[in-house]
Amino acid sequence: MTGNLPRLARRAAAPRPGIVHLGLGAFFRAHGALVIEDAMRPAGGDWGIIGVSLRSAGVRDNLEGQGNVYTAVEMSPEGQQPRIVEALSDVIFAPQNPDALLDLMADPAIRIVSLTVTEKGYCHIPSLGTLDVSHPEIQKDIGAAHPATAIGYIVRALERRRSAGVRPFTVLSCDNLPDNGRVARNVVVGLARCIDADLADWIERDCRFPSTMVDRIVPATTPDAIERLATRVGYRDLAPVFHEPFCQWVIEDRFVDDARPGFESVAGVQMVDDVAPFELMKIRMLNGTHSALAYLGYLAGLETISDTVRDPVFRGFVQRVWRDEIIPNVTPPEGVDSVAYAEDLLERYANPAIQHKTWQIAMDGSQKLPQRILGTILDAVKAGRRCDGLILAVAGWMRYVGGTDEQGSPIDVKDPLAARLRALSDAASSPREKVVALLNVTEVFTPELAELIKDDLCRAYEMLNRVGARECVRMRSQE
Ligand code: CS2
């Protein structure tokens, strides 16, 4: 029984805040928060983090009862390494008091606002990278002083800073979007322009939006994992995070007034002039195959990514897709060997201590597919190169969003476009009609790409329906 164990508690005073982080999910608490804490050790600085949850009070409630500290557990095949993280100065649930949060964000002590709000949190048009002005929450944020979205909070806080004569903060995007700084800038300036053109000009001129590439595999924390940790460490932590050993953060060194933690002292962090080649390689090679394995693996009844690469058929498939379909369409950053990068990815995927659910990665496919898979396919088709494995992955996504698995059981599809995708799928009277209807969803597919892949995709989809995901994967893993 772990019920009687003492609760985890803070050991030292909370650091003075310099960062507000929007989107306090497991990923940031297992990645950015650890790096920032490490950077504060040798280099000092008041870079404590005020963590903000925008949608649910759960993390705040759990952390509040333990002084806003938590355990980050490194999970490797050799064992587990717990570490107590004390980098959070405070944790806030935004809807409870939006005004107080905006005041905090307008405080001159806050010099960075970082974000992990997932792809859909940018309220952008994924295929274009610009603000979706018709987005219902953005429409609300244009009219109301109390925002609903992360973008709304940033714009309204910058508005307060400007009227108080305070310099803007740096907006640090840590989401898996290519050129995430540019996307953040587009949506922030885009929303500001709908509110006040002078504010938009000021942001464009004085604010900074460095792009970053973030990488660490962090599955969602499960109740079972919480119980096992308590038994192991002898205290109760209601908000631990579990992550793989690997950690990488590549950051463009463009901060307002150069105000930032001493990142360069931390292993795994690179400060660079241009993140683009790192980001492209990571999104296409890691996230692209993650999504491919997620849809096809889920359909084949495989629960986690490590289950997929333990299956020789899927393992052969992902290796072949890297070799023939992704690596030829990626120019790696100078000095990086993409073949070795792929080998390392396979080892990371195989880590049996990381239970990363295919269902979790399959979430929000409409927001992920363009940058993870479709860009690679477009480059491959234009160059006359092979991409039948990635086309099969897109067919897998189409099958998945139809909402029924290969055994006829319902799939719990989580996606902002889920209802529309399902309706299109249900209304189609043949597999070909269904593929064509989904290809017409322009948030995901550009008309150019849709035309180029239609026939191959229809064939892949029909085959998937006929012989099932595992057999298709077997066929497409061949030379
Ligand atoms: C995953 C990512 O859930 C997903 O979509 O592909 O969270 C992935 O684990 C990280 O980007 C790894 O850095």
The mean pLDDT value of the chain amounts to 96
Give 116 Cα–ligand 1 centroid separation in angstroms: 12
Position 55 in a domain: yes
Q: Which residue has the tokens 């793989």?
A: 244
Across the range 301-309, mean pLDDT stands at: 98
Ligand 1 contact, 216 CB (< 6 A): yes
Give 146 Cα–ligand 1 centroid separation in angstroms: 31
DSSP class of residue 115? E
Domain count of the chain?
2
pLDDT at position 479 over 90: no
Residue nearest to atom 10 of ligand 1 (CA): 217
pLDDT digit string (tens) for 169-205?
999 999 999 999 999 999 999 999 999 999 999 999 9
Across the range 422-438, mean pLDDT stands at: 97
Q: Are residues 52 and 77 in the same domain?
A: yes
Domain that holds residue 76: 17-272
pLDDT at position 107 over 90: yes
pLDDT at position 2 over 70: no
Burial of 329 (0-12, 13-18, 19+ CB in 10 A): buried
Ligand 1 contact, 171 CB (< 6 A): no
Asked if 469 contacts 406 with a C-beta cutoff of 8 angstroms, the reply is yes
CB atoms under 10 Å from CB of 408, counted, come to: 6
Ligand 1 contact, 243 CB (< 6 A): no
Ligand 1 contact, 287 CB (< 6 A): yes
pLDDT digit string (tens) for 312-337?
999 999 999 999 999 999 999 999 99
Q: Are residues 208 and 168 in the same domain?
A: yes
Tokens of 365: 């496919």
Position 1 in a domain: no
Ligand 1 contact, 361 CB (< 6 A): yes
pLDDT digit string (tens) for 212-252?
999 999 999 999 999 999 999 999 999 999 999 999 999 99
At 179 the three-state DSSP class reads coil
Distance CA 16, CA 109 (A): 9
pLDDT of residue 460: 98
Q: Is the ipTM, as predicted for this complex, more than 0.95?
A: yes
Task: Outline where 207-325 has alpha helix (H).
Answer: 223-233, 276-282, 288-299, 305-310, 312-320
Residue type, 230: A
Position 63 in a domain: yes
pLDDT at position 44 over 90: no
Q: Which of 345, 289, 347 is nearest to 314 (CA)?
A: 289
- CATH number for the domain that contains residue 244: 3.40.50.720
Mutating to test ligand 1, I would choose from 216, 248, 290 the residue with most ligand atoms within 8 A of its C-beta, which is 290
Distance CA 463, CA 440 (A): 21
Residue nearest to atom 13 of ligand 1 (CA): 215
pLDDT of residue 1: 54
Give 361 Cα–ligand 1 centroid separation in angstroms: 7
Q: Which of 260, 262, 269 is nearest to 110 (CA)?
A: 260
pLDDT at position 43 over 80: no
Position 4 in a domain: no
Domain boundary among 257, 272, 287: 272
